[in-house]
Structure 1
Amino acid sequence: MPGSASAATGQFRYTYTTTDGYEAVGFLNNPPSGQCINLQGPASEPGSTSRAPKNRTDATATVFLNADCEGDTYYTLPPGSGASDRLLLRSVVFS
C-alpha cells in the first residue's frame, strides 16, 4: 500500500564530542517512526552521550539517556522544539 511506511518528515539534530575533543553535529533525516535509534556520532567514543537535541521533524521525539530507548530518564520534544546542552541522550524514538 503506497504511503503506508511511517516516518517523521524533517531533520533531528544533536551535538556530540569527537574522540579528538571537537564539537560536531549529527543528524537524522526523515527518521522512521516507532523504531528506537541509538545515536553514535562518527569519531565519537562508543557509548558516549550526545546533547542539545533539536527536533525539526513533524513528529514527537522522545529522547533517552540510556541506549535502546530504555530506562527511567527520558524527555519528550514536540515537533519544532529543542533542548540545551544539559540534556544528555543516547537514543531516540519518534511517534
Structure 2
Amino acid sequence: MRLRHSVAAVCGALALTAALAAPAHAASGDFTYRFVGLDGSPRTATLHDPESDRCLTLPEVADPYSSGPAFAPHNDTDDYAIVFTGPGCTGDSWRLRPHGRPATDRLELRSVVFVR
C-alpha cells in the first residue's frame, strides 16, 4: 500500500514538473517601432512573435545616455503591448491593443511587455 502511494506521489511530481517546464507563450505577429540610427537616419525594427509576460528592453535604445528613445510603435500582435519610457519596463507606460493602428511619432519607448 505504501509503495502504491509513493509511486502515485512520484508520478504526480513528474506531471507537475512537466507542466511547469512548458514553453513560454509568445505573442503571434509583429511589433514594430522606429528609432534614429547612429548615422542620424530613421530606422525601423521589428519583434516577430515576441515572448509574452517578459520585459523586453529594445536594444537599439537601451541606454538613455547614448541614444534617443524609440517612437511610433505599432502592435500587430494578438497580445496587448505595454510600452514604457524607460529601459527595464520603468517610467511612464501606455497600453496598445492587439492589432491596433500605428501610434504617433510622439509616443516614445525604450521597453515593452506583452500580456494577454
Q: Normalized against structure 1, the TM-score is what?
A: 0.87
Deviation of residue 47 (structure 1)?
A: 4.6
Question: Comparing both chains, which one has the higher relative contact order based on Cα–Cα distances under 8 Å and sequence gaps of 6 or more?
Answer: 1
- In structure 1, what is the Cα distance between the partners aligned to 2:83 and 2:38? 23
After TM superposition, which residue ranges in structure 1, 4 or more long, deviate above 2 angstroms?
Answer: 45-48
Which of residues 50, 66, 80 in structure 1 aligns to 2:70?
50
- Which consecutive unaligned segments of at least 5 residues does structure 2 have? 1-18
Check the 8 A contact 1:13/1:25 in 2, yes or no. yes
Q: Which is richer in helix?
A: 2
Q: Determine if the alignment matches structure 1 residue 27 to structure 2 residue 46.
A: yes
Deviation of residue 70 (structure 1)?
A: 1.4
Deviation of residue 17 (structure 1)?
A: 0.3
Q: Determine if the alignment matches structure 1 residue 9 to structure 2 residue 28.
A: yes
Q: Determine if the alignment matches structure 1 residue 92 to structure 2 residue 88.
A: no
Q: Normalized against structure 2, the TM-score is what?
A: 0.72
Deviation of residue 69 (structure 1)?
A: 0.4
- Cα distance change of structure 1 residues 29 and 46 upon mapping to structure 2, 3 Å threshold: farther
- In structure 2, what is the Cα distance between the partners aligned to 1:5 and 1:74? 24
State, as a whole percentage, how many aligned pairs show the same letter: 38
RMSD: 2.0
Equivalent pairs counted in the alignment come to 92
Q: Look up the SS of the partner of 1:41 in the other structure.
A: helix
- In structure 1, what is the Cα distance between the partners aligned to 2:73 and 2:27? 15
Q: Look up the SS of the partner of 2:82 in the other structure.
A: strand
Write the mapping of 1:60-71 to structure 2, written as runs, cut at 5 A: 60-71=80-91
Write the mapping of 1:34-45 to structure 2, written as runs, cut at 5 A: 34-41=53-60
